[in-house]
């Protein structure tokens, strides 16, 4: 091949120009959703964060910037720490209870030869029912004089209790109601996960001599349910920290703040005492705790999850 002369320069090929109209169309299509997110999520969060730095009271004509005074008041507030402790205890009971009971119900229903749809519908009824209406039913059942629970205990010759007005019992009663209300939703999620476990895995386990029952569940079913379990634990934790309806209807934080939880404290400060700035500080702390729990559980459990 002959050499090119020194004075001859070969022109570089031009890069094809990519039209940017698809990108513009994508931005235009995403704009309504982004605007809605700003209006309904980011905007209110920014407003709450700003109000937490003021002394604003609901209905007041003016407000003043006070910096971190609301957070300093929270640090010294005995009611806030009591509500935080109650919320943590409630979650420590409700999360493992609803997750474990939901998994057990899903396994039992999955093993039935017939009637699976009927039992799933029955266990899912508490999730479909209005929690406030069901709380009123629980209030009637737990009544100290004519409630069905005490009537049954009297019939068995056992001691009765004023379930919702004893400091040592009220929070645990609310936790039992929370488990009853939440395990049906977890059962449905675990049932969907069980349907996704490949049958050849069980056949391979049987060929390898793994006995049916606990061993096969531990070696095959439980690892395959790990992604579903991660989702269920995170969602159950967030829901348990958001408990409010049963507290508002049944105990109103009593007796003697024994059932005061974070969301009820937020409600009382904002809509009963009209201390909107202080309630906003409680909201910021609440959101930070929920976000921290979600991140910690997701990162910690994700290392133990086997995805397929």
Burial of 246 (0-12, 13-18, 19+ CB in 10 A): buried
For 48-82, the pLDDT digits (tens) are 999 999 999 887 888 899 989 999 999 999 999 99
Contacts of 47 (CB under 8 A, 6+ apart): none
Closest CA to 119 of 110, 132, 111, 109: 109
If phi > 0 it is left, if psi is from -120 to 50 it is alpha, else beta; for residue 184 that is: alpha
Higher-confidence residue: 134 or 11? 134
Look at residue 1 in the predicted model and tell me its pLDDT.
Answer: 47
Q: What domains can be seen in the chain, in order of their start residue?
A: 69-302 (1.10.3720.10)
Q: Inform me whether the pLDDT recorded for 6 exceeds 70.
A: no
**Rounded to two decimals, what is the model's pTM?**
0.85
For 242-291, the pLDDT digits (tens) are 999 999 999 999 899 999 999 999 999 999 999 999 999 999 999 998 88
Look at residue 179 in the predicted model and tell me its pLDDT.
Answer: 95
């Amino acid at each position: 091949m002959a050499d090119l002369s020194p004075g001859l320069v070969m022109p570089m090929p031009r890069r094809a120009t990519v039209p940017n109209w698809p990108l513009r169309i994508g931005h235009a299509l995403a704009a309504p959703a982004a605007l809605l997110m700003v209006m309904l999520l980011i905007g209110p969060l920014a407003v709450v964060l700003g109000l937490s730095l003021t002394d604003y009271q609901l209905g007041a004509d003016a407000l003043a910037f006070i910096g971190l005074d609301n957070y300093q008041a929270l640090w010294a507030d005995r009611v806030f720490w009591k509500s935080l402790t109650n919320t943590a205890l409630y979650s420590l009971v409700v999360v493992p209870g609803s997750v474990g009971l939901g998994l057990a119900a899903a396994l039992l229903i999955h093993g039935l030869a017939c009637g699976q749809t009927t039992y799933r519908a029955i266990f899912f009824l508490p999730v479909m029912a209005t929690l406030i209406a069901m709380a009123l039913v629980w209030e009637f059942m737990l009544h100290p004089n004519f409630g069905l629970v005490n009537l049954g205990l009297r019939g068995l010759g056992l001691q009765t209790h004023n379930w919702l007005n004893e400091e040592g019992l009220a929070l645990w009663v609310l936790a039992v109601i929370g488990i009853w209300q939440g395990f049906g939703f977890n059962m449905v999620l675990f049932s969907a996960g069980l349907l996704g476990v490949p049958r050849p895995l069980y056949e391979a386990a049987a060929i390898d001599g793994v006995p049916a029952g606990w061993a096969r569940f531990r070696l095959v079913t439980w690892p395959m349910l790990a992604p579903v379990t991660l989702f269920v634990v995170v969602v159950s934790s967030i829901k348990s920290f958001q408990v409010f309806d049963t507290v508002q209807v049944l105990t109103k934080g009593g007796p003697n703040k024994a059932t005061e939880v974070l969301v009820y404290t937020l409600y009382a400060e904002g809509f009963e005492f009209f201390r909107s700035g202080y309630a906003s500080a409680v909201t910021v702390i609440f959101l930070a705790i929920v976000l921290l729990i979600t991140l910690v559980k997701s990162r910690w459990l994700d290392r133990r999850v086997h995805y397929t």
